[in-house]
Structure 1
């Protein structure tokens, strides 16, 4: 992980610690190239967590937005999921 990415996650963790009580509901938003395997990889990362997942294709169908609403145990758990899905090629975390 480069220093810029590391700094982002440190700042995110601090923000989450001060703005929420844990466990807490967290909303993840991702954009991935429209590809069944990539969408499935993101969905699989949240399997067995009771997540509510919504997907929507872009107007031209090239990209799919994925919203995941899920109860997470801690800021560390939130960041761990971001890191887990970051391996999906072409994913953008919002």
Structure 2
């Protein structure tokens, strides 16, 4: 199975789960891991500017990676998924949790 098909199936399943477990709009918590460099961290943070997001960063014990937690009110599961895709396309090496 190719990567694009697996990714599409993952997001379809996520969309169904989000509709089943939340009333929209709702507060959604994104979690990302990036290498600890200002460019990667700023890249993720910039994609949530002007959304009223609360952003918290935590550096790993050895300082090599940074976790980014972003709490933001989202309109629907489609908007949640669009943001995941945008982050993965615009920030190199990001890991979405």
TM-score grouping bracket, smaller chain normalisation: over 0.9
1:3, CA displacement in angstroms?
Answer: 0.8
Alignment deviations for residues 34-60 of structure 1 (CA, whole Å, 9 cap, x no partner):
110110010011001100000011011
Give the aligned partner of residue 93 of structure 1. 96
Aligned length: 94
- The equivalences for 1:1-94 within 5 A come to 2-87=4-89, 88-94=91-97
Where in structure 2 are there 5+ consecutive unaligned residues? none
> What is the root-mean-square deviation of aligned Cα atoms in Å?
0.8
**Equivalent-residue separation in structure 2 for 1:67 and 1:31 (angstroms):** 9
Secondary structure in 2 matching 1:59:
coil
Where in structure 1 are there 5+ consecutive unaligned residues? none
